[in-house]
A and B are shown apart, each in its own frame.
Chain A
Amino acid sequence: MSKKIKRLRNFNAQLRAVNERLKSEILHRQQAEDNLKAAYHKLSDIIEFLPDATFVINKDKKVIAWNKAIEEMTGVKKEEMIGKGDYAYSVPFYGKPRPLLVDLLTIAQEEIEAKYSYVKREKENLYAEVFVPRIFAGRGAFIWIKASPLFDDYGNIVGAVESIRDITDRKEAEAILRQDKESFENLTKERTEQLLMVQKELADAKHLSEIGSLAATVAHELRNPLAAIRTAAYNIGKKSRNQSLISHLNNIEKKVLDCDQTINNLLSYARVKVSHFEDVRICAILKECVSSAQDRYYKWKVQVIKKCNCPKNDVISADPFQMRELFNNLLNNAFESFPEKKGKIVVRVDRKNIPGNIVISFYDNGAGISPGDLEKLAQPFFTTKSKGTGLGLAVCHQLVSLHEGTMNFESELGQGTTVTVTLPIERKL
């Protein structure tokens, strides 16, 4: 009996000890659980008050944390989001459920990555930048996003954290900086170009002023002997009763005038950059030029028709010397277009075609200009003639542009050429 009692007592004591152990174990576990709870709360609080908008999902992709900053950013309260899955967390950002950066941690989806302006993978973390128009109550913001996976003690993924930072201010500053840099670069480029142009103009001007002085001296020195030759030819004509001499004298006269024109072209080309505008009667100047061209080409069978559709005594603002030079050259070209020394030239002046402008056209039914030559017409020293300086049309182009006008050529080989000069009637101040 006593043996039995002794065994029972023993057993009882063992049970009590087990009970004590269990009690202490329970206490211990309760403490651990409390610690864990405290830690969890601490963690929640930390997440809650992180300055960056942050949310956390578990491995089932259900939201387990949604902090204050993200509430502000999206306007969606924590209570509405906690426990939600099926990409519910993306709706405040994009208006519909879709994977976010946090979902790309485990599965790479190029399609989604392409939606970000920038995505970078660094170890297990993902970084991205994108503009989201819906957030901050529709103000929209440029955001920087970091997504990181959460691991348990054994290294298994148990969830993920996504933090989002509003970097709109920085982006704007960057854009301004970029713009400033661009405009600075453009300005530098522009100024450099201007500088190079001025340098070239200066070099041209120096070159031209040298040519100009030379040309002026040559002109002065050549006009006197030309005058003597012309006067002498006149005297021979007067004295001679021999009619056959007359044509030779006319040749001398023609060549004197050719020389004069060459001198004028050289001068104009060199000095062409200065204009002196005054009121000029274009039709009167044209009439003079036509009649002197007819004198020069008196042997040729060329019919010149002049049509002036302007009011009488109509004036435009132009440099009269330069207008003469322009018309003389264009008329010479028209005459020179007839290889057989016969043909028709029509000169027209109109001021109704383009308001504020006068249009002067020179038509000839001569040889015409090949398309290849047409492109080279404005080049100085370009000529198809065996004689001639090739300055005539280069001078014309410069004169017309000095008058802020335009000059166009229409030509067909074997059919003829029309040169159309358009000049503004008044000068812009």
Chain B
Amino acid sequence: MKKKILIVDDDEEICDELSEILRGERFQVEAVYDGLKASPMIEKSGYNLILLDLKLPNLSGFELLKMIRQKKILSRVLILTGRPLLNKKALKELAIQNEEEENILKLADGIINKPFDVKALLNKIKELLR
């Protein structure tokens, strides 16, 4: 049976391009651009993997990740983020990420920074779904 992947990203073009790549790799792929809309899908649909952006409309990636772990949903979560490559202190100072969010991030199965190398991303996805 095909493994199910959900892409949660407000950038529609990323969702489109990534969906096509992942379908080519024989995954069943769905994409959603809004955090709030993603929430019930995650709860019901039993995705093997969620590719999760952090900055999302209506409900942030941090909130979604926290919910996934609190509700013991079994999906693996790989964060795909465009946030600046800076240390914790700088992120905090710029109000990009506070301590609570930093702790939430530890619940993820991995973090990949945009613009990602597609081959490296595919390797990571395959490793998580093995």
Residue among B14, B84, B114, B116 making CB contact with A216, cutoff 8 Å: B84
Q: Cα distance A276–B87 when bound, in Å?
A: 6
Nearest chain B CB to A419's CB is how many angstroms away? 22
**Digit string of A358-395 for contact with B (CB within 8 Å is 1, else 0)?**
00000000000000000000000000000000000000
Contact A216 B113 (CB under 8 A): no
Is A228 in contact with B14, judged by CB distance below 8 angstroms? Answer: yes
Do the beta carbons of B82 and A274 come within 8 Å of each other?
Answer: no
Q: Give every chain B residue within 8 A of A320 (Cβ-Cβ).
A: 87
Q: Which of A219, A230, A263, A271 contacts B116 (CB 8 A)?
A: A230
A274 neighbours in B (Cβ, 8 Å):
87, 89-90, 93
Given contacts A224-B14, A230-B118, contact A271 B82 (CB under 8 A): no
Contact between A227 and B93 (Cβ–Cβ < 8 Å)?
A: no
Chain A residues contacting B80 (CB-CB under 8 Å) are 227
Give every chain B residue within 8 A of A215 (Cβ-Cβ).
84
Q: Size of chain A's interface in residues, with CB distance under 8 A? A: 39
Task: Mark each residue of chain B from 1 to 33: 1 if its CB lies under 8 Å from any CB of chain A, else 0.
Answer: 000000001010110011011001000000000
Task: Output the nearest chain A residue to B20 by Cβ-Cβ distance.
Answer: A235
Q: Is the CB of A227 within 8 A of B85?
A: no
A125 at the binding interface (Cβ < 8 Å): no
CB of B96 within 8 A of CB of A216, answer yes
Q: Which residue of B lies closest to A256 (CB)?
A: B115
- Asked if B93 and A271 make an inter-chain contact with CB atoms under 8 angstroms apart, the answer reads yes
Q: Is A58 positioned at the interface, with any CB of B under 8 Å from its CB? A: no
Quick check: A319 and B87 within 8 Å, CB to CB?
yes
A284 and B83 alpha carbons, distance in the complex (Å): 23
Least CB distance from A265 to B in Å reads 11
How many pairs of residues, A versus B, come closer than 8 Å at their CB atoms? 97
Indicate whether A227 sits within 8 Å of B87 (C-beta atoms), given known contacts A232-B17, A235-B17, A271-B94: no
Chain B CB within 10 A, most for which of A209, A231, A322 = A231
A267 within 8 Å of B by Cβ? Answer: yes
Question: Which of B9, B89, B115 gathers most chain A CB within 10 Å?
Answer: B115
Cβ–Cβ contact B96 & A232, under 8 A: no
Report B54-84 CB contacts with A as 1/0, cut-off 8 Å: 0100000000000000000000000010111
Is A234 interfacial (CB-CB < 8 Å)?
yes
Q: Determine if A223 is an interface residue (Cβ-Cβ < 8 Å).
A: yes
Interface residues in A226-244 by Cβ distance below 8 A to B read 226-232, 234-235, 238
A311-365 CB contacts (< 8 Å) to partner B: 319-322, 324-325
Q: Is the CB of B21 within 8 A of A267?
A: no
User: In whole angstroms, how far apart are the Cα atoms of A219 and B80 in the complex?
Assistant: 14
Q: Footprint of B on A, CB under 8 Å?
A: 209, 212-213, 215-216, 219-232, 234-235, 238, 256-257, 260, 263-264, 267-268, 271, 274-276, 319-322, 324-325
Q: A223-B113, A226-B114, A320-B87 are in contact. List 16 more A-B contacts (CB 8 A).
A: A212-B90, A212-B93, A216-B86, A220-B82, A224-B82, A227-B80, A227-B116, A230-B115, A230-B116, A231-B21, A234-B21, A235-B20, A264-B85, A267-B86, A274-B93, A275-B87
Q: Sorted from nearest, which 3 A-B pairs have the closest CB atoms?
A: A223-B82, A276-B87, A227-B114
